[in-house]
A = this chain, B = another copy of it.
Amino acid sequence: MPSVILEGPAIKDIETRRTLVKELTDSVSRAYGLPKGTIVILIKENSPENVSIGGQLIVDRLRSDPGKPD
Q: Footprint of B on A, CB under 8 Å? A: 1-9, 11, 14, 16-28, 30-32, 34-46, 49-57, 59-60, 69-70
Check A50/B56 contact, CB under 8 A, given A1-B8, A3-B7, A6-B4. Answer: no
Partner of A39, one of B21, B54, B59: B54
Partner of A70, one of B22, B26, B34, B36: B34
Task: Specify which chain B residues have a CB less than 8 angstroms from the CB of A4 in the assembled complex.
Answer: 4-7
B54 and A37 contacting across the interface, CB-CB below 8 Å: yes
Q: Which residue of B lies closest to A9 (CB)?
A: B32
What would be 30 A-B contacts, judged by CB atoms less than 8 Å apart?
A1-B40, A1-B42, A1-B51, A3-B7, A3-B8, A5-B7, A6-B28, A8-B28, A11-B31, A14-B57, A14-B59, A17-B31, A17-B49, A17-B50, A20-B31, A21-B56, A22-B55, A22-B56, A23-B23, A26-B55, A34-B70, A35-B69, A37-B54, A39-B52, A39-B55, A41-B51, A43-B50, A43-B51, A44-B50, A45-B50
